[in-house]
Amino acid sequence: MTITFTEALLYAGAMVILFLTPGPVWVALMARSLSHGMRGALPLALGVVIGDFTWPFIALLSIQELSGLYAEMLVWLRYSAAGIFWLMGAHLIRTASRPISTQNKLTRPGFVAGFLAGLLVIIGNPKAILFYMGVLPGFFDLSSITLPDIIVIALISSLLPFTGNLLLAAWLGRIRNVLSSPKALTRLNHASGVLLIIVGVVILLT
């Protein structure tokens, strides 16, 4: 492996901050847990974890292939990574009070329906791979990355949100209050937005 513990830790911290940003997965988990308990939330989380592993894995392989042809591209991708976090943070702050909505098909009962809903949220979003292709170069030296490194990064990208999703389902009462309270949701989005901007600064300084 070529990635350092510090690089992995910084990336893991960024993934935690991203996870703490409310979105459709949060709402789908809440609805499925209320209707079907943990048995409803678990298949959704399993579907999401597959997508969370797949997108960074594909993105890393693609970037590594391109970096062999255009080494200078990695420098610009690093700036792109910082810019993406700044834009995400600014957008969160600007739309902090906007209510979260979801689709009814994400809450259909049954293991298969829940699992497919999780895949739909992650793999059904083509912006995900573009996000990872823009963000990952800010954390790692992709010119020397190896297959074990890629597996570790993909595991961080998938297992951290998976653990968080299970904790969200387990602590449903508190999460429901956050999502249903405009004031609490605004505060959470403001905090997440500021943290994302800070991550972008750290990327440029490290």
Q: Write out pLDDT tens, residues 103-137.
A: 555 556 677 777 877 777 676 655 566 677 777 77
Q: Do 85 and 137 contact (CB within 8 A), yes or no?
A: no
**DSSP alpha helix (H) spans, 22-37:** 24-36
Please answer whether residues 158 and 52 qualify as being in contact, where contact means their C-beta atoms are separated by less than 8 angstroms: yes
Q: Which of 176, 154, 143 is nearest to 11 (CA)?
A: 154
CA distance 107 to 161: 19
Question: Can you give the pTM of this predicted structure?
Answer: 0.68
**Number of folded domains in the chain?**
1
Domain ranges, residue 101: 5-205
Shortest CA distance to 42 belongs to which of 163, 179, 158, 160?
163
Phi, psi torsion values for 125, nearest 5 degrees: -110, 100
- For residues 155 and 52, what is the distance between their CA atoms, to the nearest angstrom? 8
Per-residue pLDDT tens digits of the chain, which is 206 residues long: 788 898 899 899 888 887 877 666 776 777 677 666 677 788 888 988 988 888 888 878 777 666 554 555 556 666 776 776 677 678 778 877 766 555 555 556 677 777 877 777 676 655 566 677 777 777 887 777 888 898 999 999 899 989 988 888 877 656 666 666 777 778 777 877 787 688 677 766 75
